[in-house]
């Protein structure tokens, strides 16, 4: 059948994903981000040679890990066309809870407890959004305040101290010199990218964000999948909270505010669209590393913190401008 | 046919929307191996009935039976499980996803949640190939033409192996050749024992395709007849509108065309338009035929300043016009009625009045004058025989009424040159005739009209001159007397 041959020609020969060409385009963008990270690293390295020491580079990755893990979760939500403003507060709730749990329970249980509490917060967001049909921005703006308050209430208004050593070891320790949070960050990036590309969950979130009416007419359980995206975002925020508690040796109920916006910044730098329907997990991870590199590098150059903020803000805008320009040319 | 038992029965279906009886006591019986056409003007209740069949919205009362067993469709997934697939009138694709992804969406084969893409691609390729799909299947569908997107939509329905396939105006954006290909596919499906529920406003194809025709008017069942019981188009039109209608199109009056008002010369847009030139005179309607993808819409967008040409000039009323933005074009008196009303012409969430007066909203002391906005809207739309209230949200109006609202907007803006892109696509016979009359009235008032249409009878019935485009060039200019169906198709399709 000649028409079949014709179609075969136009289909990608051996790509594994749904669209090899599309995939190549995204690889190019991610390679670009990676290139910027490398150039920045070399630049800072020339100015301050110790910047490129193994120990320092691992430290930069450790800085990136928390934001990066948050960004991965947020990417699932942005993919649906929603947003989760509460993840910073969820980090605080989970940090406090896992800190308190660690006093009486084995370290692994305390970590899993933090993740479970984060996922529970996400479930609250997801159910409120899908049942009330109120926009995610408003719902999570509300829960952002609620969760932040809960963290303070649970902690009794002050930081939780006396985090036992085994707990810190579980998350702040390392394997072959690489800290566990960094390993988790890399592992989760790979898992999230695979989920996005090769599972119905990733596919359905893409469809929902692209055109939710189409998704509904295709028989997709829009509400359940959307809610699940918030559960994933909450769970990653829970893990981030546990990591912070382990690293700091104390659980601070007031942390989280900056983390939210940095995570969103990392996500959009990586090519995820706020309007939904398009997302990149590897891009979000690179975005987090880029921001961490920039911040750490400017610190080594003794640039004051407020100038750093200006630089990071400019970098976000620049990344998206470059993205626009290359797309227009293509 | 009567010895077989029906695959789908609808009994006493009633649906009421606030203030409107959308459907009242409607019944329909569909047998396997037949093409059953649902006919009716816009607003007759066809779309509502289809939505009920597909579980998009529930009926207030009445029953649905599948193979004689009562069925309840609370959501599309229920209807799909019962073996029903639907090709929607408005394109229902996820724009960011590829053809392959869209075809298998919601029905991916998985192992532990992991999609088998090799299988998905094979399945999608198979159903795309049956349609003769010849575009890339691995780029986001938003990069494809409307016709190709429609094929993807159709391939979705074919890939599920449904027993009942609902097609809501599948040929609305297809060219003659593409439609022919679709009809062959429908024949194949019928032979394979599928039941096809078909909706179209093109009576010729309805008569060619259908085994049975059910007609709705104002939410009520008017008639359900076998093809043999129908004598011809006039018969169907009488059933639909309850009165007789003249042939398609309004032929030109005897008076000759006036002075030249638009001259487009040597327009190029790389890969899309190659050295295109044309002129329009006051008082004439110039039809623009060609296959989907020939560059007709693209040319309209360049003339209207929505896209840039790489070279070429545009003169309006003898003076060079520098048109870089739609704003420039509007100032020069050019109007564009786009093909895709819902996305490019109307803000669906705004009222009829806001949409109609969007170009120049009336103000008083710097504030929007809502009352005048309403009266202006009603004054311009009432002569068009429009059923609407100025405060109604435009998204709730029927396709024909929406097109009239767009028309009203340009009438309020003193445009001299009207470019209609598929002016009656998806519009019922009654409203179509009104829009044709209106276009002829505009021409008689000295306006110039360029009408892009894939509906050949419309092009032949309306035009003073016919231009044919193929692959980004104007390949023929036919005066009315030479413009026959054969001649136009020959030029549009020749290699």
Kindly report, residue by residue over A95-109, the tens digit of the pLDDT: 999 999 988 888 889
Q: Is the pLDDT of residue A9 over 50?
A: no
Which range has the worst mean pLDDT, A19-23, A239-243, B126-130, B282-286? A19-23
| CA nearest to A196 within chain B | B114
CA distance B117 to B112: 14
Please compute the mean of the pLDDT values over residues B374-400 and round it to a whole number. 82
| SS3 state at A277 | coil
Please compute the mean of the pLDDT values over residues A175-181 and round it to a whole number. 85
- Exposure b/e, B217-240, CB count within 10 A at least 16 = b: bbbebbbbbebeebeebebbbbbb
The CATH number assigned to the domain holding A131 equals: 1.10.3470
Picking from B83, B105, B342 by the largest number of A CB atoms within 10 A of its own CB, the best residue to mutate is: B105
Q: Are B419 and B390 in contact (CB under 8 A)?
A: no
Number of residues written out for chain A: 330
Cβ–Cβ below 8 Å for B105 and A203: yes
Q: Is the pLDDT of residue B385 over 80?
A: no
A30 part of a folded domain: no
Cβ–Cβ below 8 Å for B113 and A16: no
Please compute the mean of the pLDDT values over residues A183-195 and round it to a whole number. 95
CA distance B161 to B85: 8
Nearest partner of B394 among B375, B408, B379, B412, judged by Cα: B408
Number of domains, chain A: 1
Q: Which carries the bigger pLDDT value, residue B411 or residue B348? A: B411
Q: Is the pLDDT of residue B474 over 90?
A: yes
pLDDT at A288: 96
Whether the complex's predicted ipTM surpasses the cut of 0.85: no
Please compute the mean of the pLDDT values over residues A187-209 and round it to a whole number. 93
Q: Is the pLDDT of residue B38 over 90?
A: yes
Please compute the mean of the pLDDT values over residues B154-180 and round it to a whole number. 82
Q: Is the pLDDT of residue B265 over 70?
A: yes
Task: For residue A219, give its domain range.
Answer: 64-329
Give A251's DSSP letter: B
Please compute the mean of the pLDDT values over residues B301-326 and round it to a whole number. 91
Picking from A16, A18, A276 by the largest number of B CB atoms within 10 A of its own CB, the best residue to mutate is: A18
Calculate how close chain A gets to B429, using CA atoms only, in Å. 28
Give the confidence band of A145 by pLDDT, cuts at 50, 70, 90: very high
CA distance A100 to A96: 6
Give the confidence band of A187 by pLDDT, cuts at 50, 70, 90: very high
Using a pLDDT cut of 90, give the percent of chain B over it. 36
| Average per-residue pLDDT for chain A | 86
A178 part of a folded domain: yes
Distance of alpha carbon B290 from its chain centroid, rounded? 16
Strands, E assignment, chain A: 174-175, 178-179
Q: Is the pLDDT of residue B119 over 70?
A: yes
A48 part of a folded domain: no
Q: Is the pLDDT of residue B342 over 80?
A: no
Calculate how close chain B gets to A3, using CA atoms only, in Å. 5
Which range has the worst mean pLDDT, A78-82, A171-175, B222-226, B432-436? A171-175
CA distance B379 to B375: 6
From the list A4, A211, A217, the residue facing B56 with the nearest CB is A217
Distance of alpha carbon B415 from its chain centroid, rounded? 24
Q: Is the pLDDT of residue B164 over 90?
A: yes
A58 part of a folded domain: no
Query: What's the angle, vertex CA B150, arms to CA B148 and CA B151, rounded to 5?
Result: 65
Residues of A in contact with B110 (CB under 8 A): 199-200
pLDDT at A5: 39
3-state secondary structure chain B: CCCCCCCEEEEEEEEEECCEEEEEEEEEEECCCCEEEEECCCCCCHHHHHHHHCCCCCCCEEEEEECCEEECCCCHHHHHHCCEEEECCCCCCCCCCEHHHHHHCCCCCEECCEECHHHHHHHHHHHHHHCCCCCCCCCEHHHCCHHHHHHHHHHHHHHCCCCEEEEECCCCCCCHHHHHHHHHHHHHHHHCCCEEEEECCCHHHHHHHCCEEEEEECCEEEEEEEHHHCCCHHHHHHHHHCCCCCCCCCCCCCCCCCCEEEEEEEEEECCCEEEEEEEEECCCEEEEEECCCCCHHHHHHHHCCCCCCCEEEEEECCEECCCCCHHHHHHCCEEEECCCHHHHHCCCCCEHHHHHCCCCCCEECCEECHHHHHHHHHHHHHHHCCCCCCCCEHHHCCHHHHHHHHHHHHHCCCCCEEEEECCCCCCCHHHHHHHHHHHHHHHHCCCEEEEECCCHHHHHHHCCEEEEEECCEEEEEEEHHHCCHHHHHHHHHCC
pLDDT at A10: 42
Query: What's the angle, vertex CA A233, arms to CA A231 and CA A237, rounded to 5?
Result: 115
pLDDT at B43: 66
Cβ–Cβ below 8 Å for A22 and B93: no
pLDDT at B121: 92
pLDDT at B494: 61
Q: Is the pLDDT of residue A21 over 80?
A: no
pLDDT at B363: 82
Calculate how close chain A gets to B111, using CA atoms only, in Å. 9
Residues of A in contact with B94 (CB under 8 A): 206-207, 210-211, 214-215, 277
Residues of B in contact with A204 (CB under 8 A): 106
Q: Is the pLDDT of residue A29 over 80?
A: no
Q: Are A167 and A246 in contact (CB under 8 A)?
A: yes
A24 part of a folded domain: no
Give the confidence band of A4 by pLDDT, cuts at 50, 70, 90: very low
Tell me: the pLDDT tens digits for B320-333? 998 988 889 998 99
A304 part of a folded domain: yes
Give the confidence band of B45 by pLDDT, cuts at 50, 70, 90: confident
From the list B54, B115, B138, the residue facing A20 with the nearest CB is B138
CA distance A283 to A68: 10
Tell me: the pLDDT tens digits for A221-274? 899 999 999 999 999 999 999 999 988 888 888 877 789 999 999 999 988 988
Query: Which domains does chain B possess?
Result: 8-241 (3.40.50.300), 260-493 (3.40.50.300)
A8 part of a folded domain: no
Which residues does A243 contact at the CB level (< 8 Å), separation at least 6? A65, A66, A69, A171, A172, A181, A184
Q: In what order do the strands lie in the sheet with B35-39?
A: B84-87, B164-168, B195-199, B35-39, B212-217, B220-226
A73-77, B14-18, B397-401, range with greatest mean pLDDT = A73-77
Q: Which carries the bigger pLDDT value, residue A156 or residue A77? A: A77
| Average per-residue pLDDT for chain B | 86
Q: Are B36 and B426 in contact (CB under 8 A)?
A: no
Which range has the worst mean pLDDT, A15-24, B149-158, B437-446? A15-24
Asked if B208 is an interface residue toward chain A (Cβ–Cβ < 8 A), one would say no
A227 part of a folded domain: yes
Asked if B121 is an interface residue toward chain A (Cβ–Cβ < 8 A), one would say yes
Q: Is the pLDDT of residue A154 over 90?
A: yes
């Amino acid at each position: 059948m000649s028409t079949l041959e014709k179609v075969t020609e136009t289909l990608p020969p051996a790509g594994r994903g749904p669209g090899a060409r599309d995939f190549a385009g995204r690889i190019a963008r991610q390679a670009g981000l990676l290139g910027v990270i490398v150039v920045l690293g070399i630049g800072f390295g020339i100015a301050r040679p110790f910047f490129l020491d193994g120990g320092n580079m691992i430290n930069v990755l450790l800085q990136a890990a928390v934001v990066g893990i948050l960004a991965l979760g947020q990417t699932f939500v942005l993919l649906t066309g929603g947003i989760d403003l509460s993840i910073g507060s969820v980090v605080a709730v989970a940090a406090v809870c896992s800190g308190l749990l660690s006093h009486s329970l084995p370290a692994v249980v305390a970590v899993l407890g933090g993740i479970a509490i984060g996922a529970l917060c996400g479930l609250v967001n997801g159910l409120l959004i899908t049942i009330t049909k109120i926009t995610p921005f408003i719902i999570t703006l509300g829960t952002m305040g609620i969760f932040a308050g809960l963290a303070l209430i649970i902690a009794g208004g002050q930081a939780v101290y006396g985090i036992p050593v085994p707990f810190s070891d579980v998350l702040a320790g390392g394997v072959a010199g690489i800290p566990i949070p960094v390993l988790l960050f890399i592992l989760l990036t790979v898992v999230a990218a695979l989920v996005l590309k090769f599972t119905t969950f990733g596919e359905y979130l893409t469809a929902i964000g692209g055109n939710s009416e189409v998704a509904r007419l295709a028989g997709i359980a829009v509400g359940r999948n959307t809610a699940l995206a918030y559960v994933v975002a909450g769970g990653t925020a829970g893990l981030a909270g546990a990591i912070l508690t382990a690293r700091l040796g104390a659980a601070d109920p007031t942390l989280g505010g900056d983390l939210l916006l940095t995570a969103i910044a990392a996500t959009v730098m990586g090519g995820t669209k706020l309007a939904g329907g398009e997302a990149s997990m590897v891009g979000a991870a690179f975005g987090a590393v880029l921001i961490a590199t920039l911040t750490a590098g400017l610190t080594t150059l003794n640039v004051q913190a407020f100038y750093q903020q200006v630089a990071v803000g400019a970098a976000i805008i620049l990344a998206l401008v470059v993205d626009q320009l290359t797309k227009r040319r293509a | 046919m009567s010895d077989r038992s029906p695959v789908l029965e609808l009994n006493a279906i009633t649906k009421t929307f606030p203030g409107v009886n959308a459907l009242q006591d409607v019944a329909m019986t569909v047998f396997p191996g037949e093409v059953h056409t649902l006919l009716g003007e816009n607003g007759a209740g066809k779309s509502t009935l289809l939505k009920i069949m597909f579980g998009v919205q529930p009926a207030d009362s009445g029953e649905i039976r599948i193979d004689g067993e009562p069925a309840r469709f609370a959501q599309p997934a229920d209807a799909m499980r019962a073996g029903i697939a639907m090709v929607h009138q408005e394109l229902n694709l996820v724009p960011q996803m590829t053809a392959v992804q869209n075809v298998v969406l919601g029905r991916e084969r998985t192992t532990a949640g992991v999609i088998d893409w090799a299988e998905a691609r094979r399945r999608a390729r198979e159903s795309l190939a049956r349609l003769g799909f010849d575009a890339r299947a691995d780029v986001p569908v938003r990069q494809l033409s409307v016709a190709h997107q429609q094929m993807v939509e159709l391939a979705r329905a074919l890939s599920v192996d449904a027993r009942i396939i609902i097609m809501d105006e599948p040929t609305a954006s297809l060219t003659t050749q593409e439609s022919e290909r679709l009809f062959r596919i429908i024949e194949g499906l019928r032979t394979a024992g599928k039941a096809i529920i078909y909706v179209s406003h093109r009576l010729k194809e309805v008569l060619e395709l259908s085994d049975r025709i059910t007609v709705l008017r104002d939410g009520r069942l008017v008639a359900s007849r076998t093809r043999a019981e129908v004598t011809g188009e006039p018969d169907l039109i009488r059933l639909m509108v309850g009165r007789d209608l003249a042939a398609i199109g309004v032929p030109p009056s005897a008076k000759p065309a006036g002075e030249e008002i638009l001259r487009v010369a040597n327009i190029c847009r790389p890969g899309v338009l190659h050295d295109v030139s044309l002129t329009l005179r006051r008082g004439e309607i110039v039809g623009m035929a060609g296959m989907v993808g020939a560059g007709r819409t693209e040319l309209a967008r360049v003339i209207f300043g929505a896209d840039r040409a790489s070279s070429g000039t545009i003169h309006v009323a003898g003076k060079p016009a520098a048109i870089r933005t739609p704003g420039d074009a509007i100032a020069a008196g050019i109007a564009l009625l786009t093909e895709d009303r819902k996305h490019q012409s109307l803000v669906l969430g705004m009222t009829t009045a806001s949409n109609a007066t969007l170009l120049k909203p009336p103000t008083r002391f710097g504030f929007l004058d809502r009352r005048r906005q309403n009266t202006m809207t009603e004054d311009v739309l009432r002569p068009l025989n429009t059923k609407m209230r100025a405060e109604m949200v435009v998204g709730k109006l029927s396709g024909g009424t929406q097109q009239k609202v767009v028309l009203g907007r340009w009438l309020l803006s003193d445009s001299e040159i009207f470019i209609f892109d598929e002016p009656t696509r998806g519009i019922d016979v009654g409203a179509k005739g009104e829009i044709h009359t209106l276009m002829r009235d505009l021409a008689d008032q000295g306006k110039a009209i360029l009408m892009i249409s894939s509906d050949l009878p419309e092009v032949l019935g309306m035009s003073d001159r016919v231009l044919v485009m193929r692959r980004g060039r104007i390949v023929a200019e036919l005066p009315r007397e030479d413009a026959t169906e054969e001649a136009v198709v020959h030029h549009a399709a020749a290699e």
